[in-house]
């Protein structure tokens, strides 16, 4: 049974906030008698909340806490119920540390499906659609939830498992798929494979590409590349295994909306750490409002965004009352590069590189040479003209970037999350152990 049966969504901020508050109170009533993690974490705060503003002084939850608990106990530390109540196992990618196991009950999975129905609504996906999910279907939750969300919608869900790219293209053609779900990187790579095999992707029945798994679906140049390659609309989606399917864009590419009926969003200004103002660069903090089996409350996602709250005039004119993240996910607090005093997010690099349609793939490396930071960019460029890219980097970033053209197919391709930025100034490892210190009841990596 779904946690939230389909019902008309709130059409005003006031009604939305009332719904969020009611769902938050219900979540607390459900989990606090059973969830040892949050019973201890919230033991010293008042649970009698009149509005969600009342939780502004509650402790945050950080991923490192959940990882530490998993290392100590072999299971996520935020579980509410006994193990036999959980029916789904997934885990995070472990890009920046040890993968985190994530478990869901049947009710939690139904809640995931409710989130996905709101995403599919944005793409006008209906029962007659044929949706090809281009993923290896490993333990990462995103594409599993997409696949089951399509089934819940009553559309045809086409799984492609470990199939090679050419076989996936053949399925796209023979089954006349109308929707493709994949990462931004793989959407471009699949189009590249089609081009090499004289397959006209724009002649396929495909009308929509839903991109997820990495930032980029809200970068205008990247969206335009994908849309042109497939002759289709592009819909951005964001989520996290430990949080849920929390964000969805629109086909106009105006950024991401937080799916606020299912999540309570807060924003911490990067400069001050206090509540951010509209348009201020900030870290996204989320609370799950319906995932009682493995909830997160005030969870610091590490995603860097610019929130913009809709005005009453825009809502009356038909815009969603959900908060909009202009430009989508701009980067992460842990992947921002500071080079010669300039702050650079990988999304900014992607936006510049993808503005050149002749560039097929790229890789950026930051290193130290004679005590000075150096940026080098390798590109697979059909024009073999790296200087035009170097000039644009100088103009847009205000930094000198050494750009080199490399042979075709010499750079890595990615089906999942692309890793195109290498910072050789640090000793980061995907197998590193985290160090922690405790400040005010919250654990931070140091």
Residues 393 and 328 in one domain: no
- Starting at the edge strand found earlier in the chain, the sheet holding 263-269 runs 263-269, 282-288, 299-305, 331-332
What's the whole-model pTM score? Answer: 0.81
Residues 196 and 311 in one domain: yes
Q: Assess contact for 287 and 56: CB atoms under 8 A.
A: no
CA torsion sign for 202, 209, 235, 318 is positive
In a domain, residue 184? The reply is: yes
Note down pLDDT in tens along the chain; length 446 residues: 334 445 678 999 999 999 999 999 999 999 999 999 999 999 999 998 999 999 999 999 998 888 888 877 777 889 999 999 999 999 886 555 567 889 999 999 999 999 999 999 999 999 999 999 998 888 889 899 999 999 999 999 999 998 999 999 999 999 999 999 999 989 998 999 999 999 999 999 999 999 998 877 888 989 999 999 999 999 999 999 999 999 999 988 999 999 999 999 999 998 899 999 999 999 999 999 999 999 999 999 999 999 999 998 888 888 899 999 999 998 888 777 777 666 677 777 888 898 898 998 999 888 887 667 788 999 999 999 999 999 988 888 878 889 999 999 899 887 666 678 888 876 443 333 222 222 233 222 22
Residues 172 and 305 in one domain: yes
Residues 39 and 182 in one domain: yes
Q: Assess contact for 75 and 83: CB atoms under 8 A.
A: yes
In a domain, residue 440? The reply is: no
Q: Assess contact for 314 and 299: CB atoms under 8 A.
A: no
In a domain, residue 136? The reply is: yes
Residues 118 and 223 in one domain: yes
In a domain, residue 408? The reply is: yes
Residues 270 and 378 in one domain: no
| CA proximity to 22, closest of 10, 34, 11 | 10
In a domain, residue 4? The reply is: no
**CATH code of the domain covering residue 145:** 3.40.50.12780
**CATH code of the domain covering residue 404:** 3.30.300.30
> Helix (H, G, I), strand (E, B), or coil: what is residue 44?
coil
Residues 361 and 321 in one domain: no
- List Cα–Cα distances, 25 to 30, 97, 231, 286, in angstroms: 9, 33, 45, 15
**232: number of CA atoms within 13 Å, CB side?**
27
Q: How many domains does the chain have?
A: 2
> Measured in whole angstroms, how far is the alpha carbon of residue 189 from the centre of its chain?
19
In a domain, residue 197? The reply is: yes
Residues 38 and 77 in one domain: yes
Range(s) of the domain holding residue 156: 13-332
Residues 245 and 347 in one domain: no
Residue in this structure with the two tokens 């205000």, named with its chain if needed: 398
* Separation of alpha carbons 122 and 149, rounded Å: 13
Q: Which of 275, 308, 332 is the last residue of a domain?
A: 332
Structure tokens, 237: 């989606």
In a domain, residue 1? The reply is: no
In a domain, residue 254? The reply is: yes
| CA proximity to 133, closest of 107, 101, 98, 171 | 171
Cβ neighbours of 382 (radius 10 Å)? 13
Q: Which of 305, 332, 359 is the last residue of a domain?
A: 332
Residues 356 and 316 in one domain: no
Residues 105 and 206 in one domain: yes
Helices and strands of the chain, counted as H and E runs: 11, 23
Indicate left, alpha or beta for 271 from its phi (over 0: left) and psi (-120 to 50: alpha): alpha
Residues 289 and 355 in one domain: no
Q: Which of 278, 313, 332 is the last residue of a domain?
A: 332
């Amino acid at each position: 049974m779904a946690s939230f049966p389909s019902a008309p969504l709130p059409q005003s901020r006031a009604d939305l906030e009332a719904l969020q508050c009611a769902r938050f109170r219900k979540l607390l009533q459900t989990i606090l008698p059973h969830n040892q993690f949050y019973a201890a974490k919230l033991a010293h705060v008042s649970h009698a909340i009149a509005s969600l503003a009342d939780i502004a002084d509650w402790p945050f939850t950080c991923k490192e806490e959940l990882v530490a608990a998993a290392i100590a106990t072999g299971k996520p530390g935020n579980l509410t119920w006994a193990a036999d109540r959980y029916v789904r196992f997934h885990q995070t990618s472990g890009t920046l540390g040890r993968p985190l196991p994530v478990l869901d009950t049947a009710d939690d999975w139904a809640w995931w499906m409710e989130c996905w129905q709101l995403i599919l609504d944005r793409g006008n996906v209906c029962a007659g659609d044929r949706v090809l999910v281009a993923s290896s279907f490993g333990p990462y939750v995103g594409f599993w939830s997409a696949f089951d969300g399509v089934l819940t919608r009553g559309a045809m869900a086409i799984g492609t498992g470990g199939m090679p790219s050419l076989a996936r293209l053949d399925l796209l053609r023979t089954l006349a798929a109308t929707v493709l779900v994949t990462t931004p990187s793989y959407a471009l790579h699949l189009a590249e494979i089609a081009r090499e095999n004289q397959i006209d992707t724009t002649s396929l029945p495909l009308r929509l590409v839903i991109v997820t798994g990495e930032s980029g679906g809200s970068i205008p140049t990247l969206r335009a590349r994908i849309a042109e390659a497939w002759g289709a609309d592009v819909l951005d989606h964001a989520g996290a295994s430990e949080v849920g399917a929390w964000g969805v864009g629109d086909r106009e590419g105006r950024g991401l909306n937080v799916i606020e009926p299912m999540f309570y969003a807060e924003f911490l200004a990067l400069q001050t750490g206090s509540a951010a103002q509209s348009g201020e660069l900030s870290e996204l903090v989320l609370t799950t409002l319906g995932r009682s089996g493995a909830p997160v409350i005030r969870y610091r996602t590490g995603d860097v965004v610019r929130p913009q709250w809709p005005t009453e005039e825009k809502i009356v004119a038909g815009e969603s009352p959900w908060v909009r993240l202009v430009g989508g996910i701009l980067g992460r607090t842990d992947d921002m590069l500071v080079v010669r005093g300039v702050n650079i997010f990988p999304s900014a690099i992607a936006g510049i590189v993808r503005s050149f349609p002749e560039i097929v793939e790229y890789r950026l490396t930051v290193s130290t040479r004679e005590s000075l930071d150096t940026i080098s960019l390798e590109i697979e460029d059909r024009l073999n003209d790296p200087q035009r890219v170097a000039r644009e980097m100088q103009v847009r970033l205000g930094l000198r970037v050494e750009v080199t053209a490399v042979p075709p197919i010499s750079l890595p391709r990615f089906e999942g999350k692309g890793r195109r930025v290498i910072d050789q100034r640090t000793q980061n490892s995907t197998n590193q152990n985290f160090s922690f210190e405790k400040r005010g009841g919250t654990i931070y990596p140091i």
